[in-house]
Amino acid sequence: MTRLDLLSGCAFSAALLLGLPGVAAAQDLQDRPVAPPLPEAPAAPPPGAAAEDQINFSAGMLEYDYEQDIVTATSDVRMFRAGERLRADKVVWNRKTGKVIATGNIAVTNPQGDTAYGDQIELTDSLKDGLVDNMLVVLDRGGRLAADRGTRYEDGTISLDRAAYTACSVVDSDGCPKEPTWKVTAVKVTYRPDRERVYYTGGQVHLFGLPSIPLPKFSHPIGEGTASGLLSPSVRYDRVNGFEVATPYLFRLAPNRKLTVTPHVYSDVLPMLQANYEHLNELGAFSITGYGTASRRSDDLSSGFASSTERAFRGYLDGVGRFQLDENWSLSGSLRLTTDRTFLRRYDISRADRLRTTFALERIDRDSYFSLAGWATQTLRVGERQGLQPVALPELDYRRRMKEDLLGGTVQFQLNTLALGRKAGQDTQRAFASARWDLRRLTNWGQEVTFTAFARADAYNTDDTAATNVVRYRGLEGFHSRAIGAVAVDVRWPFVGELFGGTQRITPRLQIVASPKIENLDLPNEDARAIDLEDSNLFALNRFAGYDRWEDSSRATYGLDYGLDLPGLSIATNIGQSYRLDNRETIFPSGTGLSDRFSDIVGRTTVRFRDFVSLTHRYRLDKNSLAVRRNEIDATVGSRATYLLVGYLRLNRDIDQLEDLQDREEIRVGGRVQFARFWSAFASGLIDLTDRTDDVFSLSDGFDPIRHRLGVQYEDDCLTLGVTWRQDYRTTGDARRGSSFLLTLALKNLGR
């Protein structure tokens, strides 16, 4: 009864597709009521006969006409020869002419897995070539072809007359026939399985049943393979460049190499050319992308974005690569370089404010690490001088862990050297050697105790210190040395038990660190400028981020970790504070949370409920007033189809001495709503909430939108179609504020 109801429910859909009940439509892409023949092990050939010369078959009934030498097989006939498989209700085989005619519920499968269906198939006895009426070909790598009549050739090529192709599903969620989201119809279609490509003559693309502009000749690959041809185009509009059409073309140079060339044509400015080259070999892979055009540009961003050059070449290079030379050695690098500060924003390539070029030669084994690295930075920020950006060439880092224990603990050595140079700024060379000993033990009561001893010797050489504006970062001119030492003990005492059907963990923690006074300010600070107390560095041996500053105080740090794991719910939180045991003058600036003997209170809470809610909250509270000095929230609520993302950050630290540690406040919002099976709407926005109470140099009034995005998208198994509107509220040189619109269209197998 259920089967009858399903058939009657699909009858109306089938009638719409076929036009009239009971009349087969041309180019019928629907599944046929027959299963493809399954592979079957052929019988052993007679002595002296090759396997490919044998036809193995089975049937419910077999008749043989001795005079005409005709074999007629009926009732679920199956034939096999050299990987070719045929299934039909009736097969007539003329052994004199070699002609095989199959009728009724026909399916023919080739060795590649492609299956052809038809009302009547006329084949040779090789089962490889012949004519098919009302043909349907279901490709093993995805997609299907249908035609009034088709011809199969011995090399596997299929030629179709008045044909249609689609990579979409032809049934709905209830299993009823439906019109595919898109299909291609053509006067003549040729499928070349050796090239994994379909060729069209007199073709036309139909989208949602509506025909497009005719395309005289074109072709496309099938499946997920890479082949030369056009990729999905994109259409965009913004007020600076006008309408933009980008049409990528892929050149498949070799199985491991490809080149994609994308011309960008604009209505208001000169075209831009984009090229991407990708190469894969047995050692690794690399990719490099280049952009190039000519237009007016604004480079003097510090003068109110008013100055501009005459028309000049503008471009950008972006490359990345990694090679594994052997089991231990690897070479990696990246290249990011642009001609001017506003090119990336104007042409909507990237919103980065700094570009870094890097390289690294590394060796890693079980007990050692070696790195020879370097990097250079190009600033795109307003008011920053490029001559003050450092170039690191080189940085050498070597670490070695001793295999033999020392007094029951592990020992690790490190050697490091770094040379920083600036075209118009301070130059610094640094080298140090360090040793660290760690001993971890578990007591009978369950405490985890870790003893640590650390020693390091530094050597620095500095030139042109007056070029650094912040005095605390300069250090003294010339050569200077420094010795560092510290000892520490860290105790954790976890308590684990059952709660609400889950597991609860409570872990108090205490750490004591002792370190002698060190002349930090005699040396330059190049890599330890981001000073902030967080839950991640609360129990660190040195709470400065880099090597150039060392926390030279004795202190006690205490905190609590809590965790609760229930079915579908997990909660993890920690909180802590530190207290300096000596009253020597600190090098931490006021407002960092570490300048007084008692530090601020820091913590983090993470909550996850199934796959529906994810919440992370980081905070820092003033030790005296409990005022919130850092408040950071990242939350995700919803499913994969419908969700809301919220990010909020407020830094209220009142650090006025350092130019790169100003306060800020911002909120980020994004989300997606699926309002139909294949339709969804999405939006995102970024708002600067900073005002002069947070940063005296801020130009924001406390609610300053930076940009937002709003769009609608359709996406099913074979089509992605969407339109996006983006609004930028800030002007940077010739990257002016305003609206831009992007139209995206991607058809499976016709573009990526």
d(CA 713, CA 653): 42
Average pLDDT over residues 3-12: 44
What are residue 118's DSSP bridge partners?
A: 106
Structure-model confidence comparison of residues 44 and 246, the more confident one: 246
pLDDT, the chain, mean: 86
Structure-model confidence comparison of residues 659 and 374, the more confident one: 374
What are residue 735's DSSP bridge partners?
A: 732
d(CA 455, CA 411): 11
Average pLDDT over residues 522-531: 89
Sign of the dihedral through C-alpha 114, 117, 123, 126: positive
Specify the amino acid at residue 694.
Answer: D
The conformational region for residue 208 under phi > 0 = left, psi -120 to 50 = alpha, else beta, is: left
**For the segment 600-656, what is each residue's pLDDT rounded down to a tens digit?**
999 999 999 998 999 999 999 999 999 999 999 999 999 988 999 999 999 888 776
Q: Rg (Cα) of the chain, in Å, rounded?
A: 35
**For the segment 85-113, what is each residue's pLDDT rounded down to a tens digit?**
888 889 888 888 888 888 888 888 888 78
Structure-model confidence comparison of residues 231 and 438, the more confident one: 438
Average pLDDT over residues 120-128: 75
Give the pLDDT confidence score for residue 512 in this predicted structure.
97
CB 742 within 8 A of CB 726: yes
**For the segment 161-219, what is each residue's pLDDT rounded down to a tens digit?**
889 998 888 887 777 888 888 888 999 999 888 877 888 888 888 888 888 778 788 88
Q: Is the peptide bond before 221 cis (omega within 30 degrees of 0)?
A: no
Structure-model confidence comparison of residues 455 and 690, the more confident one: 455
CB 220 within 8 A of CB 231: no
Q: Is the pLDDT of residue 375 over 90?
A: yes
d(CA 589, CA 585): 11
- Give the pLDDT band of residue 495 (cuts 50, 70, 90): very high
Q: Give DSSP secondary structure letters for 579-630.
A: EESS-PPP-SPTTSS-SSSBPPEEEEEEEEETTTEEEEEEEEE-TTT--EEE
Pairing of strands 210-211, 679-688: unpaired
Average pLDDT over residues 265-272: 93
Q: Give DSSP secondary structure letters for 210-261.
A: EE---EEEEEEE-TT---SEE---EEEEETTTEEEEE--EEEEEETTEEEEE
Sign of the dihedral through C-alpha 520, 522, 525, 526: negative
**For the segment 331-353, what is each residue's pLDDT rounded down to a tens digit?**
999 999 999 888 998 898 998 88
Q: Comparing C-alpha atoms, which of 747, 669, 735 is closest to residue 345?
A: 735
- Which range (53-57, 284-288, 372-376) has the least confidence? 53-57
- Give the pLDDT band of residue 392 (cuts 50, 70, 90): very high
Global pTM reads: 0.78
Average pLDDT over residues 266-283: 95
Pairing of strands 56-58, 555-566: unpaired
Q: Is the pLDDT of residue 3 over 50?
A: no
Give the pLDDT confidence score for residue 154 in this predicted structure.
78
SS3 526: coil
d(CA 744, CA 190): 29
Structure-model confidence comparison of residues 669 and 530, the more confident one: 669
d(CA 29, CA 183): 10
Give the pLDDT confidence score for residue 86 in this predicted structure.
84
Give the pLDDT confidence score for residue 660 in this predicted structure.
64
**For the segment 445-492, what is each residue's pLDDT rounded down to a tens digit?**
999 999 999 999 999 999 999 888 888 899 999 999 999 999 999 999
Average pLDDT over residues 711-736: 86
- Give the pLDDT band of residue 509 (cuts 50, 70, 90): very high
Q: Is the pLDDT of residue 122 over 50?
A: yes
Q: Is the pLDDT of residue 400 over 60?
A: yes
d(CA 12, CA 14): 5
Q: What is the token pair recorded at 427?
A: 């130059």
